[in-house]
Amino acid sequence: MAQPIQIALSGAAGRIGYSLVFRIAAGGLFGGGQPVALRLLESPGVGWDRLRAMEMELRDCAFPLMVDLCIGTNPVEVFKGSDWVVLLGSHAPREGIRRADLLRENAPIFADHGRAISEAAPTARIMVVANPCNANCLLAKSFAKNVPADRWFALNRVDRMRATWFLAEKAGVPVSKVTRMTVWGNHGERVYPDFRNAFIDGRPAPEVITDTAWVREQFEPAVSNRSREVLHLCGTSPAATAAQAILGTIRAITLPTPFDRRFGASVVSDGSYGVPQGLIFGFPLASEDGRNWKIIQGLYHDAYAQDRLAQNVAEIEHDMAIINDLLGNVRY
């Protein structure tokens, strides 16, 4: 049997965690031949009681691939030796809360988790999911001095999946026909879904969908506002979508990227496309070996696209200014 992959999740008993952990234990992340060891973190109180119940359910399922299960409330103990750490735990977005207030609520959590990862799992790869995930990722990274920059990822595949579905519906094709979809920047209302560089059924998207007004006035706002719509309808953020995006992103990072394809996540900028070095920013990515990744270069941006990227840079820098006011000088 292969060596188990150790996966730690913070906030594991929340809605996203519940949508995610059973799929991982069943082989839905690394496949049917790869054993996994789950390490689940939750805060004391109500969250801890839910996690204990989840532990019972996981054991009752008798998943053959789940060779170990650990739960706890201490991040250093739970993260220890992990290959992947998925940071779900935070104060959840709720209708009416200001972005700045959410950042202030969550900053201490991600500072603490960054320190714990640095101490307990410095070779892990980290996926930050809790929103605002770009800022939270940058914050945790700044407190994890022992973890290399290329190990940090913030989730933006949710936006990519939404953009793919909207383009497929508009073009009247299956979602599998929409390729090379990239979302740039911040996971939030200013995220830029790159219609111009996408392909539909092997053709550039602008050749298939020629309605520019639809792209600007309906497609882009629909992608950026979808989470808010779900939150308004049911009072909680979309958990199943996030779980699917997490699985897809980790699979893409750990497998070679097919020829002429790309995947996406927010990573530490190296200055590509004019994005300041050190910011956590959504880029198109590819991996040759499933271990190392690179930012795909050479995609064309007209003046509109350049302005959209600049808006995202400004938003992330504003988020970090709020965090600096709270915690002092957080370097990136």
4: how many CB neighbours lie within 10 A of its CB?
Answer: 17
Q: Is 187 a catalytic residue?
A: yes
Residue 76 burial by Cβ neighbours in a 10 Å radius (0-12, 13-18, 19+): middle
Residue with tokens 């690394």: 30
* Residue 131 to residue 90: CA distance in whole angstroms: 8
- Phi and psi based region of residue 253 (left: phi greater than 0; alpha: psi -120 to 50; beta: remaining): alpha
* Cβ atoms of residues 330 and 140 within 8 Å: no
Q: Are strands 178-179 and 183-184 parallel, antiparallel or unpaired?
A: unpaired
Q: Rg of the chain's alpha carbons, rounded to an integer?
A: 19
Residue of 187, 232, 301, 318 with catalytic role: 187
Q: Which two tokens stand for residue 7?
A: 């996966």
The answer for residues whose C-beta is within 8 angstroms of residue 280's C-beta and 6 or more apart is 134, 135, 137, 138, 141, 152, 154, 266, 267, 268, 269, 316, 332
Q: Catalytic positions, please?
A: 187
